[in-house]
Amino acid sequence: MKIAIIGGAGQMGEWFSGFFKKAGYDVVISGRRYRKCLEVSKKLGVRAVRKNTEAVEGADIIMVSVLPQYMEDVLKEIAPHIRENQKVIDIASVKAVPVRLMHTYVNNALVLGTHPMFGPSAMKENQNFILTPTNAKERRYASELGKFLKKQGFKVRIMSPDDHDSMIGDVLSLTHFIGLVTADTWKRLGVDKHMKTSSTSFRFLSDFVKSVVDSNPGLYSYLQMEVRDAEKAERIFIESANKWADLVKNKNRKEFSTSMTKLSRYVNEIQSNWK
Ligand SMILES: NC(=O)c1ccc[n+]([C@@H]2O[C@H](COP(=O)([O-])OP(=O)(O)OC[C@H]3O[C@@H](n4cnc5c(N)ncnc54)[C@H](OP(=O)(O)O)[C@@H]3O)[C@@H](O)[C@H]2O)c1
């Protein structure tokens, strides 16, 4: 089985090159900069080619692994080279627009939107992998791909592109926003002077904050500014921050404790549903 990964020298592209190579696939990668592709090629033992259209030739599966804002350019370029028996999947962190673009440009082959809910440095076991089929053919392929992914240790979830995107505002955009605001607050407070005396919970939070600020600014700004409902989640976060700041300012210990106990119940319940 041969897979072409467009954007194969990017963070996720490199990760998937290694993943498919290990699973026994013949992997070919292309990207904007051939030199970067050659480096990945040497490191992982996959084939690098100069052009996206060259990568597409003879591949069973074409995985588009570029930032969502570049999807349309890539699809326009490769669409005339795609044959009926090939499958085109994307891994963009939003789904409604990329899936619509794949349907617009690829009209002779099967397409499927997917979203691995993890970054390139995360462990693969127990990670969610979302598939967003939109018709019977895509659902059949999602079931086939899902079986393969489950065997590889992923939790496969199937949903519509729209349901996926309304979840992303709450799950990804808000999480990144909290990480960025926390880092900004620490910088203004000058917390560096406390690093040597910090607590376990501070170090735990600082690992999370580091993972956010070290991520791809092009992707993260897209997930703040183009995801429907991101602004709503962030507005509610700010309202909650103000509510808790008022409890503190007014020294309302009773309400503070009651609210904290209720939240503990809520978070434990949602965590047990997830496990
Ligand atoms: N990073 C994550 O945590 C994560 C998690 C899940 C899903 N995703 C999704 O995965 C996709 C890739 O994200 P990423 O983090 O891997 O981004 P990335 O590191 O920026 O990689 C994207 C790659 O695409 C290449 N590229 C851009 N335009 C291209 C074109 N016209 N033709 C061929 N290659 C092109 C880039 O080349 P240059 O470097 O030369 O610009 C880069 O190597 C995105 O859709 C993102 O939403 C990311």
Read off the pLDDT of residues 250-264 as tens digits, 9 standing for 90 and up: 999 999 999 999 999
User: 202 CB less than 6 Å from ligand 1?
Assistant: no
For residues 60-74, average pLDDT:
98
- 151's tokens: 């065997």
User: 8 CB less than 6 Å from ligand 1?
Assistant: no
Residue 124 confidence (pLDDT): 66
For residues 173-189, average pLDDT:
98
User: 91 CB less than 6 Å from ligand 1?
Assistant: yes
Residue 118 confidence (pLDDT): 93
User: 174 CB less than 6 Å from ligand 1?
Assistant: no
User: 12 CB less than 6 Å from ligand 1?
Assistant: yes
pTM tops 0.85, yes or no = yes
Asked whether the predicted pLDDT for residue 134 surpasses 80, the reply is yes
Mutational pocket test of ligand 1: of 11, 17, 28, 227, the residue with most ligand atoms within 8 Å of the beta carbon: 11
| Rounded Cα distance, 265 and 275, in Å | 16
For residues 76-103, average pLDDT:
97
Better-predicted residue by pLDDT, 121 or 235:
235
Q: Which atom of ligand 1 is nearest to the CA of 12?
A: 16
pLDDT, the chain, mean: 96
Residue 123 confidence (pLDDT): 67
| Rounded Cα distance, 237 and 108, in Å | 44
Residue 117 confidence (pLDDT): 95
Domain range summary for the chain, segments of one domain joined by +:
2-159, 169-274
pLDDT > 70: percent of the chain: 99
Domain spanning 2-159 has what CATH number? 3.40.50.720
pLDDT > 90: percent of the chain: 92
